[in-house]
Amino acid sequence: MIDIWTIVRFLHVLGAIIWVGGQLTITVVVLPPVRRLLGLAERTEVLRTVGKRFALITAALFLPTQITTGVLLAWRNGVTWAALAEPGYGRVLAAKLILFTLVMAAATVHGIAQAKHRPAAARAASITALVGSLGVILLATGLVER
C-alpha cells in the first residue's frame, strides 16, 4: 500500500542510493579514467570540482533528508532511546547510527585533508567512508524484517 510512509521510506532509501552509489561511482568509474587520461592540472581541477559538488549535495540535501526521514521512520516504528539498547532491531539500528556518524566524520576528514593538500590522508579518509557506507547498507539490510 502506498501512503505517506512509503514516500518517507522512498526518500530515505533514495538518499542512501545517491550517497553510497555516488561514492562508488566516483571511486570505481570516474577516478581511474580521469587519472589515466587527464594531465595533472586538469585532473586536480576535475576532482576538486566533483568533490566540492558532492560535499555540497551531502551537506545541503543528503544529510537533512536522511536525518529527517530517519527520525520519522524511527518514530513510526516506535523506537525509543531505551529500545536502542535492546538486542535485535534496537541494537542493529544503534550500530547503524554510530557507523553512519563515523562515516560522516570520515567524509569531513576527507574534505579537510583535501583542502590542506594531503592526498594520502584524504584518500584514506574517503576509502574509510566508502567501506563504512557499505557497512551501513549491510546493517540497514539487517533491519528489514523477514
Partner 1 sequence: MDETPRTDLAPPTAARPRGPLFVWANAVVLGWLAVAVVLSAAHQVLGLPGWVALHALLLGAVTNAILIWSEHFVVTLCRAPAPLARRVAAGLTALNLFVVTVLAGVTTNVSVMTGAGAAGICVIAAVHTVFLVRTYRKALQRRFGHLICFYASASVALLAGAVTGAALGTGAATPIWYSRLWGAHVHLTLLGWVGFAVLGTLFTLWPTTLGIRIADGTASLARRALPVLAVGLVLTVGGILAASRWLTLAGLVCYAAGVGVAMIPLVRALGTRRPRGPAAWMLAAAIGWLGVAVLIEGVRLLLAGSIDALPDVVGAVVPVFVLGFTVQVLVGALTQLLPVVLGRGPAEHKSLSASLARGWQVRILLTNLAVPLVAGDWPRPLPQIGWAFGALGVGTFAVLALRAAIPVALRGAATTVQAPDRPSPSSGTTTGIAAGLAVVVLAVALAATGTAEAPSTPVSGAAHTVEVTMSAMRLRPSTVDIPPGTRLVLRVTNQDSMPHDLRADSGQRTPRLRQGETALLDLGEIQGDHQAWCDVAGHRAAGMTMTIRTSPAAADTGRDHRAGHDPGTGAGLDLGATPSPGWTPHDARLAPPAGTLHRVELHVTEQDVEVAPGVRERRWTFGRTAPGPALHGRVGDRFEITLVNDATMGHGIDFHAGALAPDQPMRTIGPGERLVYRFTAHRAGAWLYHCSTMPMSQHIANGMYGAVVIDPPGLPAVDHEYLLVSSQLYLGGPDSDQHVAKIHTGRPDGWVFNGMAAQYDHAPLTARSGRRVRIWLVNAGPGDATAFHVVGAQFDTLYKEGTWLLRPGDPGGAQVLDLAPAQGGFVELSFPEPGHYPFVDHDMRHAENGAHGRFTVTEPPQ
Q: Residue 6 or residue 101: which is nearer to partner 1 going by CB? A: 101
68 or 128, CB closer to partner 1?
128
Q: 84-94: buried (b, 16+ CB within 10 Å) or exposed (e) per residue?
A: beeeeebebbb
Query: Closest distance between partner 1 and the C-beta of residue 85, in Å?
Result: 9
- Smallest distance from partner 1 to CB 84, Å: 11
Note whether 20 and 81 are within 8 A (CB): no
Min separation Cβ 132 and partner 1, Å: 5
CB of 47: closest distance to partner 1 in angstroms? 13
From the number of C-beta atoms within 10 Å of its C-beta (0-12, 13-18, 19+), residue 110 rates as buried
Report the residue number, 8 or 31, with the smaller CB distance to partner 1: 31
Q: Which residues of the shown chain bind partner 1 in the complex (CB under 8 A)?
A: 36, 86-89, 91-92, 94-96, 98-99, 102-103, 106, 119-132, 134-135, 138-139, 142
In the bound state with partner 1, the residue whose beta carbon lies nearer, of 5 and 89, is 89
Full DSSP string of 64-133: HHHHHHHHHHHHHTT--HHHHHSTTHHHHHHHHHHHHHHHHHHHHHHHHHHHTT-HHHHHHHHHHHHHHH
